[in-house]
Amino acid sequence: MATGAIDKSAVAKYFMGLPTDVLGPVPVSINGISRLNLGESNLNFLVVTNHGKFVLRINMDLGSVTKSSSEFNSLRALAGLGIAPAAFHLDESKVSFGETSLVVEYFEGRPLSELEEGGVSVESAAKLAHVVAAVHSIDERKLAIQLPVRGISYESWFARMRKDIDYVRQNRKSRSLGAGFDELLRDSLDRLQMPAESAPPNVSAPGHGDVCAQNVIVDDDGVMRLIDWENFGSWDPAAEIAKVFEAFGMDFPVDRESEFLSVYTSLRQDQTLRERLRVFRPIVRLEQLTWGIRHVFEIANGEMNKAFVEATKMSEHLAFVDSCLNRLVKTGLIDLNLEEIPELEIFPQTIRSSGHQLRP
């Protein structure tokens, strides 16, 4: 297993050593390498070669050993549909970088998050609806893989949040933090859950799994495409759209939501979509908080690759948690006065002040 730094020289050496059947028989020469935006669990490099432009995606999540292979298989299954990057190479050996990795096509363009800083425009909301509807309309029977089940059932979302809350509780307890915040999370979860007979029906379709502003690439002609397909699988379309509205990473005003739904429903029929969307939206809000808190502890505990921990900014993850909590309080999903939030002890002060905390 590799122990050296994951830097540009290591990436160049890796590409020049790729088998000839990956990019072509002509030896690879490197014209440029740059680090792309850091994802939540991947280290990404843009590599410009004599064969074209590629993205090297190195898995940084030590607990997800099949993540690279899952994304690679998904991209291969989506080949030819024009909605996902081509996949060229999967490396599960961990020899070069200490983690699994894959080489995929680079989409020219810029993330939507860099193009519309003031919030999603009406035009972009309509284009995004076209893209999402196209993904949800993929004929699963024609794909060469069995789609993993990601977020179909209402209950599966609660099961995932219970695991997150248990993880958070254990980490807070090991650091001698009081149980009050853990109880607050559990109470909020219990209040959200409805009786089984009232839960929405299970509806599934192929879904991207992480449609956010950072993963939406727009080229110079205004064509919009999606990257980062590691969460591709079977989703309830309403759950995916709820994530778009609630966790897009940009302001998504109500009139843009209406535009999105108007275009989407003109392209794809779903009789109970709006009903299920109303159910999933508060669930997504709470899930963003529980996931965000868990992710902070994972980074602090060293459960992510060292290169990721060194490259990431803990302050950004803490700010994300604070914003999620504020929104939940304002919408009444968490029973707490806004004045109490600055004094609320979610994390040890060592994490708040320095961004790092050794294992207890």
Residue 340 has pLDDT above 80, yes or no: no
Predicted confidence at residue 357, as pLDDT, reads: 43
Residue-wise pLDDT for 298-337, tens only, equals: 988 888 878 777 778 888 899 899 999 999 998 888 888 7
Residues 65 and 194 in one domain: no
Residue at 2 is within a domain: no
CA 5/CA 45 separation, integer angstroms: 14
Q: What is the CATH number of the domain that holds 33?
A: 3.30.200.20
Residues 145 and 228 in one domain: yes
Residues 33 and 65 in one domain: yes
Residues 15 and 92 in one domain: yes
Closest CA to 228 of 11, 7, 60: 60
Where a domain ends, among 269, 300, 322?
269
Give, to the nearest 10 degrees, the angle between helix 273-300 and helix 254-267.
120
Residue at 93 is within a domain: yes
Residue at 182 is within a domain: yes
CA 352/CA 285 separation, integer angstroms: 23
Q: What percent of the chain has pLDDT over 70?
A: 95
Specify the higher pLDDT residue, 72 or 38. Answer: 72
- The secondary structure of residue 312, as a DSSP letter, is S
Closest CA to 295 of 36, 41, 38: 41
Residues 190 and 305 in one domain: yes
Residues 62 and 126 in one domain: no
Predicted confidence at residue 38, as pLDDT, reads: 67
Residues 140 and 224 in one domain: yes
Give the DSSP per-residue string, 152-194. -SHHHHHHHHHHHHHHHHHHHHHTT--SHHHHHHHHHHHHH--
Mean pLDDT of 84-91: 96
Residue 90 has pLDDT above 50, yes or no: yes
Residues 221 and 339 in one domain: no
Q: What percent of the chain has pLDDT over 90?
A: 63
- The secondary structure of residue 61, as a DSSP letter, is B
Residue at 3 is within a domain: no
Residue at 321 is within a domain: yes
Residue-wise pLDDT for 261-275, tens only, equals: 999 999 999 999 999
Where a domain ends, among 224, 240, 269?
269
The answer to whether 48 touches 56, Cβ cutoff 8 Å, is no
pLDDT band at 176 (very low <50, low <70, confident <90, very high): confident
- Only one residue has tokens 């966790």, namely 247
Helix spans in the chain (H): 8-16, 20-23, 67-78, 112-115, 122-136, 154-174, 180-192, 237-246, 254-267, 273-300, 306-311, 314-330, 349-354
Where a domain ends, among 224, 252, 269?
269
Residues 260 and 286 in one domain: no
Predicted confidence at residue 262, as pLDDT, reads: 98
| Count of structural domains within the chain | 3
pLDDT band at 151 (very low <50, low <70, confident <90, very high): confident
Which of 37-46, 58-67, 220-229 holds the top average pLDDT? 220-229
Mean pLDDT of 73-93: 93
Residue 276 has pLDDT above 90, yes or no: yes
Predicted confidence at residue 356, as pLDDT, reads: 46
Give, to the nearest 10 degrees, the angle between helix 273-300 and helix 180-192.
160
Residue at 1 is within a domain: no
Predicted confidence at residue 1, as pLDDT, reads: 43
Residues 75 and 120 in one domain: no
The answer to whether 211 touches 221, Cβ cutoff 8 Å, is no
pTM over 0.85: yes
Residue 350 has pLDDT above 60, yes or no: yes
SS (H, E, C) 193-212: CCCHHHCCCCCCEEECCCCC
Residues 128 and 262 in one domain: yes
Residue at 184 is within a domain: yes
Residues 143 and 214 in one domain: yes
List all residues 6 or more positions away from 31 whose beta carbon is below 8 Å from its beta carbon: 48, 49, 50
Mean pLDDT of 169-192: 90
Predicted confidence at residue 201, as pLDDT, reads: 85
Residue-wise pLDDT for 3-62, tens only, equals: 457 889 999 999 999 998 899 888 899 999 999 876 778 899 999 999 999 999 999 887
Q: What is the CATH number of the domain that holds 223?
A: 3.90.1200.10
Predicted confidence at residue 343, as pLDDT, reads: 66
Residue at 350 is within a domain: yes
CA 166/CA 118 separation, integer angstroms: 37
Q: The domain containing residue 124 runs over which residues?
A: 108-152+204-269
Predicted confidence at residue 360, as pLDDT, reads: 37
